[in-house]
Amino acid sequence: MKLYYSNTSPYSRKVRLVINMKGLDKQVENILMNPFEDKTKLKAINPLGKIPSLVLDDNEVLFDSPVICHYLDSLSEEKPLIPGKGWEKWLVLRWEALADGLTDAAYNLVVERRRSASEQSTSAMSQWTDEIQQVLREMEIRLTELDGEITLAHIAVGTAIGYLDFRLSELLYDSSCPQIAVSPNLMSWYESFQTHPFMLATRPV
Ligand SMILES: N[C@@H](CCC(=O)N[C@@H](CS)C(=O)NCC(=O)O)C(=O)O
């Protein structure tokens, strides 16, 4: 399999963590891409022109990150990242959706901030900022649901907070007191999770 990815893409990091956690690293060739500079090349692989994109050995292509992660998890029953069949499974998938939504809001905000001031939408930026704050509060309240073995929920939350930490770290802290985390228990969880060897190996550079 071939994974088209970039080092700074949070969605790619999520997939790379799944590859490592499932022990699939020897079966995947990693191909670095810049989704903005390599757009034409990327669109020939994935019509959406986005990373991550996974090309299977029979040349079928999978995107986006949830589909790729679910596929990779289905390749072996060992170390299931979407465990169970009942509520346990839906809880993991809901956490993934919540964390991916957080990443979407953060990524949109980062891209918008790169536009010239005259092109930026202040209402869209404030909507994404509100979404980020709302999700951080929700994750803080529900954090005990993450007690237990590492699942796709942990991986998605780790990459979402990791992306905020990398690009928008000010949003993780109280604006009037930058030493205080807005979601202190979530931040302690993240401080510990980010020391996982695979989190360290996939740190954005
Ligand atoms: N929902 C997609 C989002 C993928 C995505 O937006 N990737 C970004 C890089 S982090 C990208 O390729 N952006 C290029 C573009 O939007 O043109 C996923 O989960 O994989």
Report pLDDT digits (tens) over 104-135.
999 999 999 999 999 999 999 999 999 999 99
Percent of the chain past pLDDT 70, that is, above it, reads 100
| 0.95 exceeded by pTM | yes
Residues of each domain in the chain carrying CATH 3.40.30.10: 2-74
Mutate to test the pocket of ligand 1, among 4, 8, 50, 109 (most ligand atoms within 8 A of CB): 50
| Positive/negative CA dihedral, 178, 184, 186, 187 | positive
Which whole number is the average pLDDT over 49-75? 98
Place of tokens 């020939």: 44
Residue ranges, CATH 1.20.1050.10, the chain: 87-201
Q: From the CA of 66, how far away is ligand 1's center (Å)?
A: 12
CATH fold of 2-74 reads Glutaredoxin (3.40.30)
Mean pLDDT within 40-45 = 96
Per DSSP bridges, beta strands 29-32 and 53-55 are: unpaired
Q: What is the H or E stretch that residue 32 is in?
A: strand 29-32
176-187: average pLDDT: 94
Which of 51, 104, 152 for mutating ligand 1's site (highest number of atoms within 8 Å of CB)? 51
The token pair that represents 192 in the structure block: 């510990």
Q: Is residue 53 within 8 Å of residue 1, measured between CB atoms? A: no
Residues 195-199 have a mean pLDDT of 98
Q: What percent of the chain has pLDDT over 90?
A: 96
What is residue 178's predicted lDDT score, i.e. its pLDDT? Answer: 85
Is domain 87-201 given the CATH code 1.20.1050.10 in the classification?
A: yes
Give the CB-side neighbour count of residue 17, counting CA atoms within 13 A.
31
Give the pLDDT score at 165: 97
pLDDT confidence bin for 201, thresholds 50/70/90:
very high
Q: Which atom of ligand 1 is nearest to the CA of 52?
A: 20
Instruction: Write the single-letter amino acid at 173.
Output: Y
Half-sphere exposure of 138 (CA within 13 A, CB side): 14
Q: How far apart (Å, rounded) are the C-alpha atoms in residues 81 and 45? A: 27
What residue owns the CA closest to ligand 1's atom 6? 50
pLDDT score at 205 = 85
- Give backbone dihedrals phi and psi of 78, rounded to 5 degrees, phi first: -70, 145
